[in-house]
Chain A
């Protein structure tokens, strides 16, 4: 009994319930994805599901298409979001906090409802619901995730560096490309990761935005995983997605740690 009291009075042990909880509900399920991917319906070991994936042209095509859409969406968000973050981080910009909140506020409205409203808006303007609508909707949903980290790094940046560059004869453009852009790279990387990862795994949004005409990888996984006999194949697709996510987050981690490293490509 006294030993028990001793154990619980050590604050280190207070994390144990959480560790146990995480092991059971985070680590074990992730392992299970792998287990299901390598077994058939009866629980026998098999690699047939993987073979099916590599010969299943629909799955491969959808996968590549989703990657492409995610890359495009990330690029668009970066192109639109960077200037916005840059403007907000300027010293003479008077209400950056309000502006940042205004950009985040739409996220309190359920994203599916916003998506349906976007579809309606496209209908009202007579615009077709195709790839354009899909990219618009995705960009609309994930733009705040790009603006916020970039704004944060730009705001924390030491402004005297820019002044120093200008004193040394750099014009506005040069000081922007040689000072501000490299210094904001950590924010850009985390923005890219924060936009790319949810986009590549998105489901539901694509379906609603294009009236089921365009299928992304997430929807494909959803279809298979909710069909009982194809659950194992769904697990294979999830594993593929998981690998992509792992690679992306590694990319984000690595580069935000390296900070000043020059930017590489996506993925």
Chain B
């Protein structure tokens, strides 16, 4: 068994090594005849300067030029046609053909000011296409991974050998109990290991975001030294204006949607609870429709409704759409509270002379409060997290929430760097909340 594991481990390493690709570095001189063909005047200002182009998987980084500090590559030129116009193309020493593309799609949003010969010029993102043949070699992460695996196997093997030697002095009965105990332990640690490995994979991308929130670099994955600048930018409002407005709209929409859906949902829950069984069934089916519908269907159907009604889409339509998919969850979190409370108290209040509004406020609300609160929080999270529905109902008026902002940002090829500290903070708050809840629960249990 152990031998099998060792063989499996080395097979894994070999398989991984065949996946791992190279970090090639091309050093090019822009302006050299025969190697760089200038189609437009822009690169000429760089004549004689050295550009380092680094191929990393599918991504091409062009260093040395402030403008071209990042770029994306695409395999086929057809894909590129959709992205923009070519600026210039050139061939390097190895015969690789390069094209630099200007991304025309979102020019107005992502203009960058770049210093060229002491004069400021405005450029947008550039996309470099490459048809480079990549050598296969191992990336640094591979070495770390392999090193960890190797160290792990070595340690485990050492431990086994050590314990074997100790065992031989024991009697056969003792050996048998020890074997059983070890089986149980192994199962226990094996299952623990499985969960933690799974969590490691789940949290790896998030950890990447968190780690790279402490560096200034525009590209995720490019470490340019420790810096808190992104946090400072985020809190002083120096971040991208689009990001600031996206954060604002996300909060506004989430609050409006959560408040509206909590009110609507609570009233509906009270109504549904007091209905006849047949009606109740029909309405709970209706209630489950938006929960079953995937967001793309909810989004598209609402989009068609707004188109058919001739409503111009914007903040109001997004809010309505969010109320649509939030309210069912509020209804479902209020209903259990209703079935737990005494149904006669409301009527008793009416009999004692309270108006329905008073009875609602003074008798029902205190009982329903926890359910409403959890519904409200659920609605907030759903609204903040939503992408699909917002995407189809936001219209073309430039309204963006965080999700849609990230989407359009990612399509352009680079994320606004301030998103990294933002979500690191959100994660941290959630983690702290989890710890606090856990500690409180434990105290509760002990009492």
A185 interface residue per 8 A CB criterion = no
Residue of B nearest to A117 (CB): B205
Contact A14 B268 (CB under 8 A): yes
B434 interface residue per 8 A CB criterion = yes
- A11 and B388 in contact, given A26-B324, A201-B297 (Cβ under 8 angstroms): no
A162 interface residue per 8 A CB criterion = no
How far does the Cβ of B263 sit from chain A's closest Cβ, in whole Å?
Answer: 9
Residue of B nearest to A23 (CB): B286
Contact A124 B423 (CB under 8 A): no
B101 interface residue per 8 A CB criterion = no
- A249 interface neighbour in B79, B274, B292, Cβ under 8 Å: B292
How far does the Cβ of B186 sit from chain A's closest Cβ, in whole Å?
Answer: 14
In the docked arrangement, what's the CA distance between A107 and B384, Å? 11
Contact B294 A225 (CB under 8 A): no
In the docked arrangement, what's the CA distance between A18 and B403, Å? 28
How far does the Cβ of B357 sit from chain A's closest Cβ, in whole Å?
Answer: 9
In the docked arrangement, what's the CA distance between A30 and B293, Å? 10
- A201 interface neighbour in B19, B201, B296, B324, Cβ under 8 Å: B296
In the docked arrangement, what's the CA distance between A112 and B415, Å? 11
Contact B267 A211 (CB under 8 A): no
In the docked arrangement, what's the CA distance between A174 and B271, Å? 49
Contact B423 A207 (CB under 8 A): no
Contact A222 B296 (CB under 8 A): yes
In the docked arrangement, what's the CA distance between A26 and B285, Å? 12
Contact A126 B406 (CB under 8 A): no
A131 interface residue per 8 A CB criterion = no
- B267 interface neighbour in A18, A98, A128, A202, Cβ under 8 Å: A18
How far does the Cβ of A10 sit from chain B's closest Cβ, in whole Å?
Answer: 8
CB-CB < 8 A to B423: which residues of A?
109-110, 113
CB-CB < 8 A to B301: which residues of A?
26, 29-30, 32-33, 238
- A88 and B415 in contact, given A112-B406, A126-B56 (Cβ under 8 angstroms): no
From B38-46, B85-93, B117-125, B304-312, give the one contacting chain A. B304-312
A123 interface residue per 8 A CB criterion = yes
- B381 interface neighbour in A18, A108, A113, A198, Cβ under 8 Å: A108
A242 interface residue per 8 A CB criterion = yes
B98 interface residue per 8 A CB criterion = no
CB-CB < 8 A to A1: which residues of B?
none
- A110 interface neighbour in B20, B271, B346, B385, Cβ under 8 Å: B385
From A53-61, A79-87, A175-183, A254-262, give the one contacting chain B. A79-87
In the docked arrangement, what's the CA distance between A204 and B296, Å? 11
Q: What count of chain B residues pass the 8 Å CB interface test?
A: 95
CB-CB < 8 A to B142: which residues of A?
125-126
- A125 interface neighbour in B22, B58, B139, B289, Cβ under 8 Å: B139
B131 interface residue per 8 A CB criterion = no
A197 interface residue per 8 A CB criterion = yes
Mask, B314-349, CB within 8 Å of A = 1, is 000000110110010001000000000000001000
Mask, B181-211, CB within 8 Å of A = 1, is 0000000100110110011011111101100
Contact A18 B268 (CB under 8 A): yes
Mask, A98-130, CB within 8 Å of B = 1, is 110111011111111111111011111111110
B259 interface residue per 8 A CB criterion = no
Residue of B nearest to A29 (CB): B301
B100 interface residue per 8 A CB criterion = no
- A32 and B304 in contact, given A18-B267, A26-B286 (Cβ under 8 angstroms): yes
A-B contact count (CB 8 A): 259
Mask, B1-40, CB within 8 Å of A = 1, is 0000000000000000001111100000000000000000
- Residue in B142, B220, B287 whose Cβ sees the most chain A Cβ within 10 Å: B220
Contact B58 A129 (CB under 8 A): yes
Q: What count of chain A residues pass the 8 Å CB interface test?
A: 87
B402 interface residue per 8 A CB criterion = yes
Task: Please report which residues of chain A, range 41-63, place their CB below 8 angstroms from some CB of chain B when the two chains form the complex.
Answer: none
Contact A14 B221 (CB under 8 A): no
In the docked arrangement, what's the CA distance between A13 and B279, Å? 12
B65 interface residue per 8 A CB criterion = no
In the docked arrangement, what's the CA distance between A101 and B74, Å? 39
CB-CB < 8 A to A92: which residues of B?
188
In the docked arrangement, what's the CA distance between A212 and B206, Å? 23
Residue of A nearest to B142 (CB): A125
B57 interface residue per 8 A CB criterion = yes
From B169-177, B366-374, B424-432, give the one contacting chain A. B424-432
Task: Please report which residues of chain A, range 204-235, place their CB below 8 angstroms from some CB of chain B when the two chains form the complex.
Answer: 204, 207-208, 211-213, 218, 221-222, 225, 231, 234-235
A16 interface residue per 8 A CB criterion = yes
Task: Please report which residues of chain A, range 1-19, place their CB below 8 angstroms from some CB of chain B when the two chains form the complex.
Answer: 8-19
B300 interface residue per 8 A CB criterion = yes
- Residue in A112, A122, A213 whose Cβ sees the most chain B Cβ within 10 Å: A112
Residue of A nearest to B276 (CB): A12
B141 interface residue per 8 A CB criterion = yes
- Residue in B205, B305, B356 whose Cβ sees the most chain A Cβ within 10 Å: B205
- A29 interface neighbour in B72, B265, B304, B387, Cβ under 8 Å: B304
A25 interface residue per 8 A CB criterion = yes
Contact B58 A211 (CB under 8 A): yes
A159 interface residue per 8 A CB criterion = no
- A126 interface neighbour in B74, B139, B324, Cβ under 8 Å: B139
A140 interface residue per 8 A CB criterion = yes
List 27 A-B pairs, Cβ < 8 Å: A12-B275, A14-B268, A15-B268, A18-B268, A21-B327, A26-B301, A27-B286, A29-B301, A29-B304, A83-B191, A87-B195, A106-B202, A106-B206, A108-B430, A112-B407, A117-B205, A117-B206, A117-B209, A124-B141, A125-B20, A127-B19, A128-B57, A204-B387, A208-B410, A225-B303, A238-B300, A245-B294
Report the 7 A-B pairs with minimum CB-CB distance, sorted nearest first: A15-B271, A18-B268, A29-B301, A117-B205, A14-B271, A126-B21, A201-B294
- Measuring CB to CB, which residues of chain A are less than 8 angstroms from any residue of chain B? 8-19, 21-22, 25-30, 32-33, 36, 80, 83-84, 87-88, 90, 92-93, 97-99, 101-103, 105-118, 120-129, 140, 143, 197-198, 200-204, 207-208, 211-213, 218, 221-222, 225, 231, 234-235, 238, 241-242, 245, 249
